Chains A and B, each alone.
Chain A
Amino acid sequence: MTTRIQETRGDRIFLFANYLYLTLAFLIVAYPVVYMLSASISNPHYVGSGEMWLWPKGITFEGYQRVFENSKIWSGYANTILYTLVGTAISLAVTLPAAYALSRRDLVGRNLFMGMFMVTMFFGGGLVPTYLLVKDLGMINTIWALVLPGAASIYNIIVTRTFFMSAIPRELEEAAQMDGASTTRLFLTIILPLSLPIIAVMALFYGVGQWNSYFSALIYLNDEAKYPLQIILRQILVLQEMSAQTGGTVDASTASALNNKAEVAALVKYSVIIVSTLPVIVVYPFLQRYFVQGVLIGSVKG
């Protein structure tokens, strides 16, 4: 019996409105992204005047050329890759074993641990005491200030724990224990290989967090050579350090040169946005099905 019930007129109107709404949402989100891509390869004059509003006009790659010539962007990129790799590895090394331990019902005191960890979701020491601690630990101007203070999140631990509890059959663990496998062996050879989806999700969450973070670098780093990409971006995009500064009176030719410089600066901004976001955008579609799955598992109360 596969007879579909006929949609009534009211239902068709409802569905039509629904599709219209979703299409609108799609356009609102997609437009700025398409615009930035187009702006990054368009003649900055057309961008600045508003003549380029959707597809590229007067194609030029000067913006990208300037971005790639900028040594600060390269060093920022290298630093960010290092911080992201080290930070994600540390976060996973803390999160996965802890989540596994907390998933085991035979862990004596697990409610105590959970309680202690959960408190941090709602209350913390705040900015200054944390800063002073990092300073006292001698981590200022080191990679550790960026990767350790935010190494684990209780939310991620809970999501991972829920995964271990719901996706790994208990019998499997018992069988392995019968065969004399130690907990460490069980975790490394049986649990982890079965948990690739949640490992991917956690790597993505922690990785993107590290890739995108700027605030710890802003407060803990003062050596320019160690700046991550986001701090360099902040200088270019927000503090406008690459744009022209007009001051006082200027003659016509200087004014046009400055104007031109300002347009190029805007072009560089669009290019740098694309270049810095590209890695995340490239990785994202491959991991999408995992993270939706991961969030779904995590949101089911464990």
Chain B
Amino acid sequence: MAIVRNWELYLFIAPAFLYFLIFCYFPMYGIQIAFKNFNPSEGFAGSPWVGFDHFTRFFHSYYFWDLIWNTLSISLYELAVGFPVPIILALAFNEVRTGFFKKMVQTVTYAPHFISVVVMAGMIITFLSPTTGIITHMLEWIGLNPPDFLTDPRWFKTMYVLSGVWQGAGWGTIIYLAALSGVDPGLHEAAIIDGASRFQRMRHINIPAIVPTMTILLILNMGSLLGVGFEKILLLQNPLNMEASNVISTFVYQSGLVDAQYSFSTAVGLFNSVINATLLVVVNQIVRRTSENSLW
């Protein structure tokens, strides 16, 4: 029997199995406290059930629509700006033969991916400082009146999204470059012979070649629409920009760990995960009907 013969392989997979069981599946079991009044001494299972009370409280709270709006608008903004940039960058890289210029630009544009989110937040804060920040100075040089980026709620989302593009665009090209490297050179040769220009070849050969990758990444992005990366938001949040920066995930952190409302916060988090998972399934379904590419 293969199971007996390969007993060692089960030993190999055991640490990962235990890891996922303990650190991913056990917390899922813990979700039940969203429907309970969690009492630490009685544990996950022993605490008394309260049904959907925490959800109703959340839906009826005055901040509910603000949270939903901030989370969704930041995500969609990020998607609209951040999704096309790596694609355009990858298409541009692809037109340049391997050489020093290409290597240098790639090395530099990948690098910000490795900068920590704390340093990133520190950079944003120092660069945009209303008195000493270099961006503030630059805007003054060209005669503009710099806004209070860090405390004006109207600027929060733009600041968040653009810094994310700066940090992630270069890294995001790697996967598209992989797809482009799979294009059959014969297609390009044939197109050249037919008199196609570089732009036409990009439009009719390269772009169609990366559509499957784009589709998959788009589906994955839709699945995290409400899961907007909160580590950076948490760092950039302050009482003055809260109006625009309070999102579901930072709210879960605040209410759950800072205010210790364990059950309520779990309910909010669960609401978020369920919407994300639903969006993922729905978008995947739509894409599967309209094209051949889908996650499953």
Contact = CB atoms under 8 A, between A and B. Distances in A.
A276 B119 contact: yes
Contacts of B30: 125, 128-130, 132-133
A124 B134 contact: no
A163 interface: no
Interface residues of B, number: 97
Main secondary structure of the interface of B (DSSP, over half): helix
Interface stretch (A63-71, A192-200, A247-255, A277-285): A277-285
Interface string A76-109: 0000000000000000011101101110101110
A102 B13 contact: yes
A169 interface: no
Interface string A44-74: 0001111001000000000000000000000
B2 A106 contact: yes
A203 to B, nearest CB: 14
Nearest to A118: B296
B13 A50 contact: no
B152 interface: no
B45 to A, nearest CB: 12
Contacts of A113: 13, 17
A116 B21 CA distance: 9
Contacts of B126: 237, 266, 269-270
Given A29-B166, A123-B273, A128 B114 contact: no
A300 B178 contact: yes
Contacts of B115: 212, 277, 280
Interface stretch (B68-76, B89-97, B153-161): B89-97
B109 A26 contact: yes
A123 B273 CA distance: 7
A126 B31 contact: yes
Contact of A11 (B15, B198, B235, B253): B198
B119 A94 contact: no
A25 B252 contact: no
Main secondary structure of the interface of A (DSSP, over half): helix
B266 to A, nearest CB: 5
Interface string A175-212: 00000001110010000000000000000000010011
A98 B231 contact: no
B95 A29 contact: no
B70 to A, nearest CB: 18
Contacts of B236: 238
Nearest to B104: A26
Interface in B149-194: 166, 169-170, 174-175, 177-179, 181, 192
Given A101-B12, A299-B178, A230 B118 contact: yes
A116 B178 CA distance: 28
Nearest to B169: A25
A207 to B, nearest CB: 10
A184 B2 CA distance: 16
Contacts, number: 271
Interface string A226-267: 000010011011100000000000000000000000010010
Contacts of B129: 266
Nearest to B272: A126
B220 to A, nearest CB: 9
Most buried by A among B89, B101, B105: B105
B100 interface: no
A49 to B, nearest CB: 8
A15 B104 contact: no
A48 B109 contact: no
A233 B122 contact: yes
A97 B269 contact: no
B107 A288 contact: yes
B223 A122 contact: yes
A190 to B, nearest CB: 14
B125 interface: yes
A72 B271 CA distance: 40
B134 A125 contact: no
A250 to B, nearest CB: 16
A133 B28 CA distance: 11
B27 A28 contact: no
Most buried by A among B13, B169, B266: B13
B4 to A, nearest CB: 10
28 contacts: A11-B198, A22-B93, A48-B132, A49-B132, A94-B15, A98-B17, A101-B9, A104-B6, A106-B2, A107-B2, A107-B6, A113-B13, A113-B17, A116-B20, A122-B277, A124-B24, A131-B256, A131-B257, A184-B8, A187-B12, A214-B231, A230-B118, A237-B125, A238-B118, A266-B132, A276-B119, A277-B119, A281-B114
The 7 closest A-B pairs by CB, nearest first: A125-B27, A237-B122, A129-B30, A50-B137, A212-B116, A98-B16, A126-B269
Interface of A: 5, 8, 10-11, 14-15, 18-19, 21-23, 25-26, 28-30, 32-33, 35-36, 39, 47-50, 53, 93-95, 97-98, 100-102, 104, 106-108, 113, 116-117, 120, 122-133, 148-152, 154, 157, 182-184, 187, 208, 211-215, 219, 230, 233-234, 236-238, 263, 266, 269-270, 273, 276-277, 280-281, 284-285, 288, 292, 295-296, 299-300
Given A100-B12, A266-B132, 16 more contacts: A28-B166, A29-B108, A53-B138, A98-B16, A108-B2, A129-B31, A129-B266, A133-B30, A151-B19, A213-B116, A219-B253, A233-B118, A237-B121, A269-B126, A285-B107, A296-B177
